């Protein structure tokens, strides 16, 4: 069974997707204490809850695949695209350090970031990333996948996936095929069939009244004036409400639970309400068995769901990687 190590793991969406595809997770790393609570509540393997800069990777078990959703804020529109000038952008180089220090270089890398990263700084950021990985002995493939198109879940979420294969002359055994060629022949990822609609995502049964907006809310009249359909998700963006006419949820964000910015709203029989954290997890492809612990606050639950990857999409990518290296 192929083994996986995870960096910048959040609540473990990448690890869960690889597990579903038949990989074994040996260890993961996440610095955030609240994410670590949710991670440990749902995963049994080792989690190193520590600053990645303090980890001695030479002491960890070698893995076949190294994954990492390295911090995207420095490259996103919301993060003002500071890139490597932002400490969060420099976390990419910790991945390079991990590759060099692990007892054996991983055969495959799967890195995730925002769609904008390839065009950031007129392509210079992507060039630095690509050259750094090539210098470490990897062939590098850049792909952009969409949760709606490729995972069949009604969220318009585009993300960049950087998938790399170690120079095959450096593998420990003779390969019957070129793994990188096999991977490239399976790209682009096929579109999902039987796409879900938003009503299949929304919770059934009674929803806690704390998620509903009351008439005394300062912007209630504006919300009521705009929000008319029960078949889509709206997004409140501080000063206006935007309807997603495609019937999909706009991209979930980390700050959607902190007030009137990027808040996903729906209309049901009882009124206008925010999506619940559980619904946000469903829009990221998490199974119903995945739970937030009681000790994690509502605002943190929204942040964790918004920062996560789409599990079903990771599963599909992991399946392609598995076919490429088996």
Tens digits of per-residue pLDDT, 47-56? 999 999 999 9
pTM of the predicted model over 0.85 = yes
pLDDT tens digits, residue range 282-317?
A: 999 999 999 999 999 999 999 999 999 999 999 999
% of residues, the chain, pLDDT over 90: 73
| Average pLDDT across the chain, whole number | 90
CATH of domain 3-193+306-325: 3.40.50.150
Active site residues: 72
What b-and-e string marks burial along 288-314, b requiring 16 or more CB atoms within 10 Å of the CB?
eebebeeebeeebbbbbbbbbbbbbbb
Backbone angles phi, psi at 213, to 5 degrees: -90, 130
What local confidence, expressed as pLDDT, does residue 246 receive? 86
Q: Residue 123 gets which letter from DSSP?
A: G
What angle (nearest 5°) sits at the alpha carbon of residue 35, between those of residues 164 and 10?
Answer: 10
What local confidence, expressed as pLDDT, does residue 41 receive? 98
What b-and-e string marks burial along 241-275, b requiring 16 or more CB atoms within 10 Å of the CB?
bebbeeebbbbbbbebbeeeebbbbbbeeebbbbb
pLDDT tens digits, residue range 208-241?
A: 999 999 999 988 999 999 999 999 999 988 778 9
The residue ranges of every structural domain in the chain are 3-193+306-325, 204-275
Q: Residue 249 gets which letter from DSSP?
A: B
Question: Under 8 Å CB-to-CB from 298, ≥6 apart: which residues?
Answer: 257, 277
């Amino acid at each position: 069974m192929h083994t996986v190590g995870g960096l910048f793991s959040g609540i473990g969406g990448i690890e869960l997707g690889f597990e579903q595809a038949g990989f074994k997770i040996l260890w993961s790393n996440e610095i955030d204490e609240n994410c670590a609570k949710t991670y440990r509540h749902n995963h049994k393997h080792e989690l190193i809850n520590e600053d990645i800069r303090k980890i001695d990777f030479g002491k960890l078990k070698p893995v076949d695949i190294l994954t990492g959703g390295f911090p995207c804020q420095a490259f996103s529109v919301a993060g003002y695209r500071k890139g490597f000038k932002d400490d969060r952008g420099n976390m990419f180089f910790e991945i390079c350090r991990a590759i060099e220090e692990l007892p054996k270089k991983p055969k495959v890398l799967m890195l995730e970031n925002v769609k904008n990263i390839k065009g950031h700084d007129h392509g210079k950021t992507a060039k630095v990333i690509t050259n750094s990985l090539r210098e470490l002995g990897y062939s590098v493939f850049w792909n952009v996948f969409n949760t709606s198109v490729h995972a069949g879940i009604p969220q318009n979420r585009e993300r960049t996936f950087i998938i790399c294969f170690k120079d095959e002359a450096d593998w420990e055994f003779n390969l019957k095929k070129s793994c990188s060629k096999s991977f490239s022949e399976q790209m682009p990822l096929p579109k999902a069939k039987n796409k879900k609609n938003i009503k299949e995502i929304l919770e059934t049964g009674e929803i806690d009244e704390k998620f509903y907006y009351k008439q005394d809310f300062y912007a209630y009249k504006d919300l009521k004036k705009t929000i008319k359909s029960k078949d889509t998700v709206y997004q409140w963006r501080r000063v206006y409400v935007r309807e997603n006419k495609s019937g999909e949820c706009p991209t979930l964000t980390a700050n959607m639970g902190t007030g009137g910015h990027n808040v996903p709203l729906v209309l049901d029989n009882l009124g206008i309400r925010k999506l619940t954290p559980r619904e946000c997890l469903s829009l990221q492809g998490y199974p119903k068995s995945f739970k937030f612990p009681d000790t994690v606050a509502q605002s943190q639950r929204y942040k964790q769901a918004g920062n996560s990857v789409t599990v079903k999409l990771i599963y599909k990518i992991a399946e392609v990687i598995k076919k490429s290296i088996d």
